[in-house]
C-alpha cells in the first residue's frame, strides 16, 4: 500500500466511525422523541443528575460565600403563592413593596425561576357562591395574563416543561397557573378542560373542606370517604390532560384514593410534615412514603402554624381572646364586616403578639429545613421534596424567610447542614421539574375524554 492509499483508508475509517457515533446519537434522540420532544445534551445531563441514585447526601461544605452562587445557578421553583389576589386589589407588583411577600423585584432577588400563582377558589358558603366559583377563578387567570402582558421583560407564562426551559434561557421568571380548590370546576369536566386550555397545570382538589366530590382535610368526618365516583373521573381526566393533581388541602382518605387511582405522580404543593407538627394540613410519614413511591413531590409550606402546631393553637387562642377584648366576632367572615376602628386596634395587637409567639417558638429558616430534612429521612432520598412557600396566603412568615427575596437562606442552611450541590438543586426546584416534565410532556394517549 502506498502512502496515498494509506491516508485514504485512514480517512474512510475516521469518517465511518464518526457517522456511526452520529447514528447512535440520532437514534437516542429519536427514542427520546417517542415520548418527549428532543432535549439538548445539557438538558439531558441535568435530568441524568436528577435521576441519579445518591445514597450519601452530605459533604463537607465551605458555605461562606458560595450559597448565593449555588442558589442563582439552581432552578428555583416555588409551588404556591397567593400574590394574584394582591395584584387584583391594585397592588403594583413591579415595585419592591414594603408589604406583601411576592413582587417582581423580590422574585428576582430570590432568584426564582418558576413561581406557581394559585387562583384561589374558597369553600362556597351557599348555592349562589357555588355557581360563581368558575367566574372567580377566571378573573384571577385573567389577572395573571394581564400581569404577564404588562411585564413581558420580566415574566412569562409557562405551560410545559419545555416552555419553562425556553423562558428560563431568556432570564425571565416563569409563571405557572394553579387552581386552589376544585369548587372552581363547578362539578363539570368541560370547565376543567377549559381551565387546562387557558394554561392551568395544577389543581388542588379541595380547599379547607369538601367539594361535591372530594373530602377536605378540615372535614372532621369525611362525606365521601375520599373521592366520589365523579371525583375519580376528575382525577382520570386530569391524568389524561396532563394536569398535576395537588393533594394539599385534601382529607387523608382523598389522598389515599388519589394515590390509588392516579397514573401520574402527584404533588402536595404547600404542606409540611405531620410527624414534626401534628396539623391536619400536613402529611403523615406513611403519606410521604406513598407520595415518594408515586414519584411525586411535597413543597414545604412556610406557615408557622403548620411548621409548629403549638404556634397554631396558641395563635388561635390569642385571636379569640383579642376578638373578645375588642368586642368583635371571632368568625373571619363576620369580622370582615365589623367596625373598622375596632378592627384596626385588634389587628395591631394581634400582629404584635403573633411576632412574640414566633420568637417564643423560634420558627425560622431552620424550622423549614427541619421539615425538608424530615422528608429526606423518611423517604430515604432527596428526590421528593421542594418549596411551597404559601407566600401572600399566610399572615406570618418564619424568621429569615420574610418574603420571596429571602429564599437563598434555605440554600445557605442546606449547605451548612452538609448537603451536596446536586441534592440542593433537586430540593430547590429540580424535583418538581421532574414531575412537571413527566406530567406535562408525556405522550398524550389518544383516547376520548372521560365524559
Ligand atoms: Zn392553601
Quick one: how far is CA 403 from the chain centroid? 16
**Are 199 and 157 spatial neighbours (Cβ–Cβ below 8 Å)?**
yes
Indicate if the pLDDT at residue 13 is higher than 60.
no
Enclosing H/E stretch for 306: helix 304-307
- Cα of 210 vs centre of ligand 1, distance in Å, is 14
pLDDT bucket at 363, cuts 50 / 70 / 90: very high
- Cα of 3 vs centre of ligand 1, distance in Å, is 77
Indicate if the pLDDT at residue 25 is higher than 80.
no
Angle in degrees, 0-180, between the axes of helices 66-73 and 408-416, rounded to the nearest 10? 120
- Cα of 330 vs centre of ligand 1, distance in Å, is 21
The C-alpha atoms of residue 161 and residue 178 are separated, in whole angstroms, by 15
Q: Which pLDDT belongs to residue 106?
A: 98
Indicate if the pLDDT at residue 26 is higher than 80.
no
Between 43 and 435, the more confident residue is: 435
- Cα of 8 vs centre of ligand 1, distance in Å, is 70
- Cα of 449 vs centre of ligand 1, distance in Å, is 29
- Cα of 300 vs centre of ligand 1, distance in Å, is 12
Mean pLDDT of all residues in 297-313: 98
Residue 214 grid cell: 372530594
Output 400-403 pairs: Cβ under 8 A, ≥24 positions apart: 400/364, 400/365, 401/302, 401/364, 401/365, 401/368, 402/101, 403/100, 403/101, 403/102, 403/106, 403/110
Indicate if the pLDDT at residue 4 is higher than 60.
no
Indicate if the pLDDT at residue 241 is higher than 70.
yes
Domains defined for the chain, CATH in brackets: 58-308+368-440 (3.20.20.140), 310-362 (no CATH)
- Cα of 97 vs centre of ligand 1, distance in Å, is 23
- Cα of 22 vs centre of ligand 1, distance in Å, is 49
Quick one: how far is CA 380 from the chain centroid? 21
Main-chain dihedrals φ then ψ at residue 390, nearest 5 degrees: 70, 20
Between 33 and 175, the more confident residue is: 175
Main-chain dihedrals φ then ψ at residue 58, nearest 5 degrees: -105, 160
**Are 114 and 75 spatial neighbours (Cβ–Cβ below 8 Å)?**
yes
- Cα of 235 vs centre of ligand 1, distance in Å, is 19
Give per-residue pLDDT as tens, 89-117: 999 999 999 999 999 999 999 999 999 99
What is the percentage of the chain residues whose pLDDT exceeds 90? 80
- Cα of 270 vs centre of ligand 1, distance in Å, is 7
pLDDT bucket at 333, cuts 50 / 70 / 90: confident
Give per-residue pLDDT as tens, 243-274: 999 999 999 999 999 999 999 999 999 999 99
Closest residue by Cα to residue 310 from 372, 368, 232, 362: 362
Indicate if the pLDDT at residue 33 is higher than 70.
no
Q: Which pLDDT belongs to residue 448?
A: 53
Mean pLDDT of all residues in 278-284: 98
Indicate if the pLDDT at residue 27 is higher than 60.
no
pLDDT bucket at 5, cuts 50 / 70 / 90: low
Indicate if the pLDDT at residue 6 is higher than 80.
no
- Cα of 141 vs centre of ligand 1, distance in Å, is 17
Mean pLDDT of all residues in 205-231: 96
Amino acid at each position: 500500500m502506498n502512502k496515498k492509499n494509506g491516508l485514504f483508508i485512514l480517512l474512510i475509517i475516521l469518517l465511518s466511525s464518526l457517522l456511526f457515533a452520529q447514528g447512535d446519537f440520532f437514534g437516542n434522540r429519536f427514542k427520546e422523541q417517542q415520548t418527549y420532544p428532543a432535549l439538548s445534551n445539557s438538558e439531558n445531563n441535568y435530568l441524568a443528575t436528577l435521576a441519579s441514585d445518591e445514597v450519601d447526601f452530605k459533604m463537607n461544605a465551605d458555605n461562606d460565600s458560595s450559597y448565593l452562587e449555588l442558589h442563582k445557578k439552581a432552578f428555583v421553583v416555588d409551588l404556591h403563592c397567593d400574590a394574584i389576589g394582591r395584584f387584583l386589589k391594585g397592588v403594583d407588583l413591579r415595585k419592591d413593596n414594603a408589604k406583601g411577600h411576592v413582587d417582581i423585584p423580590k422574585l428576582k432577588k430570590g432568584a426564582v425561576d418558576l413561581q406557581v400563582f394559585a387562583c384561589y377558589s374558597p369553600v362556597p358558603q351557599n348555592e349562589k357562591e357555588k355557581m360563581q366559583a368558575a367566574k372567580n377563578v377566571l378573573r384571577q387567570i385573567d389577572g395573571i395574563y394581564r400581569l404577564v402582558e404588562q411585564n413581558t421583560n420580566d415574566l412569562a407564562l409557562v405551560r410545559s416543561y419545555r416552555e419553562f426551559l425556553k423562558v428560563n434561557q431568556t432570564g425571565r421568571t416563569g409563571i405557572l397557573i394553579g387552581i386552589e380548590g376544585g369548587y372552581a370546576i363547578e362539578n363539570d369536566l368541560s370547565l376543567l378542560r377549559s381551565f387546562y386550555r387557558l394554561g392551568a397545570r395544577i389543581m388542588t382538589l379541595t380547599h379547607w373542606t369538601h367539594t361535591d366530590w372530594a373530602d377536605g382535610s378540615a372535614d372532621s368526618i369525611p362525606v365521601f370517604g375520599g373521592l366520589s365516583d365523579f371525583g375519580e373521573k376528575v382525577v382520570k381526566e386530569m391524568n389524561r390532560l396532563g394536569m398535576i393533581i395537588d393533594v394539599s388541602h385534601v382529607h387523608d382518605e382523598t389522598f389515599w384514593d388519589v394515590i390509588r387511582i392516579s397514573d401520574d405522580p402527584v404533588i402536595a404543593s404547600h404542606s409540611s410534615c405531620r410527624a414534626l407538627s401534628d396539623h391536619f394540613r400536613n402529611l403523615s410519614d406513611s403519606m410521604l412514603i406513598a407520595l415518594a413511591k408515586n414519584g411525586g413531590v411535597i413543597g414545604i409550606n412556610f406557615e408557622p402554624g403548620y411548621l409548629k402546631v403549638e404556634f397554631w393553637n396558641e395563635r388561635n387562642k390569642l385571636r379569640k381572646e383579642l376578638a373578645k377584648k375588642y368586642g368583635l366576632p371571632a368568625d373571619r367572615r363576620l369580622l370582615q364586616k365589623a367596625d373598622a376602628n375596632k378592627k384596626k386596634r385588634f389587628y395591631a395587637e394581634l400582629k404584635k403578639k403573633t411576632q412574640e409567639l414566633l420568637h417564643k417558638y423560634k420558627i425560622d429558616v431552620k424550622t423549614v429545613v427541619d421539615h425538608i430534612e424530615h422528608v429526606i429521612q423518611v423517604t430515604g432520598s432527596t428526590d421528593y421534596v421542594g418549596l411551597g412557600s404559601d407566600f401572600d396566603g399566610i399572615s406570618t412568615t418564619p424568621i429569615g424567610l420574610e418574603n420571596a427575596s429571602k429564599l437563598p437562606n434555605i440554600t445557605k442552611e442546606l449547605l451548612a447542614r452538609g448537603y451536596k450541590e446536586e441534592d440542593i438543586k433537586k430540593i430547590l426546584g429540580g424535583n418538581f421539574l421532574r414531575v412537571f416534565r413527566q406530567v406535562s410532556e408525556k405522550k398524550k394517549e389518544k383516547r376520548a375524554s372521560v365524559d
